[in-house]
Structure 1
């Protein structure tokens, strides 16, 4: 608990205005503000702090800081957005701030799913229904449901699926799997977790401010000029290729022809594709929903996905990684075998309550409910696309994804973010936070209550009319 949050039951008759250390039952707590000494019920000892006098710590350990973490350029994008939102709300306490920035779902979890979690939770209070550690790879019924629903005709089985506490967590576990000595490629712009986890793992050089890139990462530029798909003829070989489709942040979706090129490129180079399909259910045309729809992909790719944006599980935390048996390291050993060791060592399996909800997602009623949730957010993106299009902006995404990518040529993304927040009280996401290729764009999320999306549309039209 932070010192400022400490609550003490005290007597009003004694006080001290200086900083002091309180020793409560062996725990030492520092207070920097006015303190009331307690009544006779608690025994507290006041000690002076040399730290307060000098302003610097008097003791440090001999443990060095992780040099890779020190290489990170700034705070993670989304907490920084929330920080700026909080500052704005302090400045304008009466403003009704609408958040279309961080990609967090807003609509209730469908009852068919939440009731399954509630039932499983109640069962844990009974001798018959209680269970402790489960299979580290995940509940077999859930793995089988994912395999049959998403990969049934693609040659993957239940044993190829690993259940996790979210795709973002699996990104870091995969970085641990491949280690510090691999070189990675990412789309530019890209979801920042790929890059930041690579930096922390030690795969990269330092941040190069002049080009807004980390050394030893290949940034594959994706822009309107190349239909948001990189020119692979200009991309050097890397060990790992992170690829997200439908894409976060641009909302673009790779075509079957483009993904065929990507698989061919990976095979020629002996690379492994980490394919992020977290938004696949938003696809409404014939674009591939899985990399494994592409012939040969099982030899060069694995796939991560999530329940977060389908079933409202952003707080529940549940996802999966699918690793085909055909995917092998250079020595011929299966990638899945080593990932299973990572999972066994670093993870005791996803919550049994969350997995019960995941299994309910694959009932007929659950699949329909998830489809309804996705449809609702897609309607929100239609409103946002229409808003910016009517104002004359070049707008991308939105069709097969919950994100709209709006171009503000010649302007700083953070400046646009600040203007929209200051004048319209609407939170967006600056494109440059996703990499140098995002400069001049902002991402607007379709996750929001309908009334808020309509109100944001109204404010944006007033701002940019």
Structure 2
């Protein structure tokens, strides 16, 4: 008889956003007249920009002709996109990334979840708390976390990240092999300073740890005292793997395109204690389990780097960040304590005294019909907070803030 992977039985309940969806559906059934505004899941609402649409249309036409039709493409991504990424995202920062260090995929979420496969089960991971759930759950599936006791996994090193430490976690005091950092951060919307990130890179070098650096929201950065790529930090190529996405930057949440950078210098030890490069291992994983992003989609992604594409996408990012400003300033005006919304399209709200994350979620849903995300769903340190996203329409963003202002906290 077939047996299941026992690690899956260690997962904690339902996936956060599926849990929220069920709760919202139940509310809709009992209140069919409710005009619900969704500011929970970080899904974009602006359409793909004209430059991207034109490139996708042209690629569709190519696929309709025998002379230009393409079947299987390279699993790592077409050269035209890998070159555009290297020249468009990294060269302006003074960073040299080789095209064969870039792996195009169908989403940063997929890559962050799949990257753990190239590491052994005995690696100890450290995650910030609160944290994007995929970092933790994929390692639960991989057998690195042990069981959860009162919501805390016994083999995971948690790095509290909250207002008390200015959302800059302390270094682990125990042995850690893999560290996950997200900057700008999801869910808190905050960033780590350039100096602090340099300290993290040095810590990873000193402790022979790998840094998983999620940079999916770098396009939203407005502050100068942080980095758009971890490779702006000297020595990062030796220890860091960087994840990037077109989802929020260019509205590809439904179109699906992202990439991961695995420098040739980044290594880990094999069973004999010899250092081996991770780039060929990730390449082997991708060529074995992934057939590549469709040509049509990659042509659309490449259009992001054209002058027209850049200008159009910049307008969309500005639109969302204006939404973030409206939310942040509107909630501050009624006395709520909020974080984020300056370098990321997320606003992290501290619940009023005496309210839990789910209490505040229920209040917004039931009283003013707004869907949010309870902070406790991102980890124990998220308790007492709530996340709103700036990805809604301008009209709904303003309406949502006006509704919240009617509440008495």
The reply to whether TM is greater than 0.5 is yes
Q: How does 1:226-305 map to 2 (within 5 A)?
A: 226-232=165-171, 234-286=172-224, 287-305=226-244
The one of 276, 293, 313 equivalent to 1:370 is 313
Aligned residue for 2:254?
315
What's the C-alpha RMSD, in Å, of the aligned pairs? Answer: 1.1
Q: How does 1:100-119 map to 2 (within 5 A)?
A: 100-119=39-58
Question: Matches of 2:297 and 2:19 in 1, distance apart?
Answer: 29
Question: Matches of 2:31 and 2:58 in 1, distance apart?
Answer: 43
Kindly indicate whether the alpha-carbon contact (under 8 Å) linking 2:114 and 2:138 is maintained by their aligned counterparts in 1: no
Question: Matches of 2:298 and 2:175 in 1, distance apart?
Answer: 38
Aligned residue for 2:149?
208
Kindly indicate whether the alpha-carbon contact (under 8 Å) linking 1:170 and 1:304 is maintained by their aligned counterparts in 2: yes
Indicate the larger mover: 174-183 or 265-274: 174-183
The one of 155, 162, 170 equivalent to 2:96 is 155
Q: How does 1:51-70 map to 2 (within 5 A)?
A: 62-70=1-9
Aligned residue for 2:120?
179
The one of 359, 370, 386 equivalent to 1:442 is 386
The one of 322, 325, 335 equivalent to 2:278 is 335
Question: Matches of 1:464 and 1:401 in 2, distance apart?
Answer: 28
Alignment: residue pair count: 401
Question: Which protein has greater RCO, CA pairs closer than 8 Å, 6+ apart?
Answer: 2
Aligned residue for 2:67?
128
Find out whether 1:324 has 2:268 as its counterpart: no
Tell me how far 1:175 sits from its aligned partner: 1.2
What do the CA deviations read for 1:25-84 (whole angstroms, capped 9, x no partner)?
xxxxxxxxxxxxxxxxxxxxxxxxxxxxxxxxxxxxx22222111111111111111111
Aligned residue for 2:19?
80
Aligned residue for 1:381?
324
Note the residue ranges of structure 1 that are not aligned, 5 or more in a row: 1-61
Aligned residue for 2:135?
194
Question: Matches of 1:118 and 1:75 in 2, distance apart?
Answer: 39
Note the residue ranges of structure 2 that are not aligned, 5 or more in a row: none
Question: Matches of 1:308 and 1:224 in 2, distance apart?
Answer: 28
Tell me how far 1:393 sits from its aligned partner: 1.1
Kindly indicate whether the alpha-carbon contact (under 8 Å) linking 1:151 and 1:157 is maintained by their aligned counterparts in 2: no
What do the CA deviations read for 1:74-128 (whole angstroms, capped 9, x no partner)?
1111111111111111111111100000000011110110221122122211101
The one of 287, 292, 295 equivalent to 1:349 is 292
Tell me how far 1:137 sits from its aligned partner: 0.6
Aligned residue for 1:53?
none
* TM-score, with structure 1 as normaliser: 0.85
Q: Which has the larger radius of gyration?
A: 1
Kindly indicate whether the alpha-carbon contact (under 8 Å) linking 1:206 and 1:215 is maintained by their aligned counterparts in 2: yes
Question: Matches of 2:192 and 2:29 in 1, distance apart?
Answer: 41
Kindly indicate whether the alpha-carbon contact (under 8 Å) linking 1:240 and 1:273 is maintained by their aligned counterparts in 2: yes
Kindly indicate whether the alpha-carbon contact (under 8 Å) linking 1:429 and 1:443 is maintained by their aligned counterparts in 2: yes
Find out whether 1:422 has 2:360 as its counterpart: no
Find out whether 1:143 has 2:87 as its counterpart: no
Kindly indicate whether the alpha-carbon contact (under 8 Å) linking 2:43 and 2:253 is maintained by their aligned counterparts in 1: yes
* TM-score, with structure 2 as normaliser: 0.96
Question: Matches of 1:343 and 1:202 in 2, distance apart?
Answer: 21
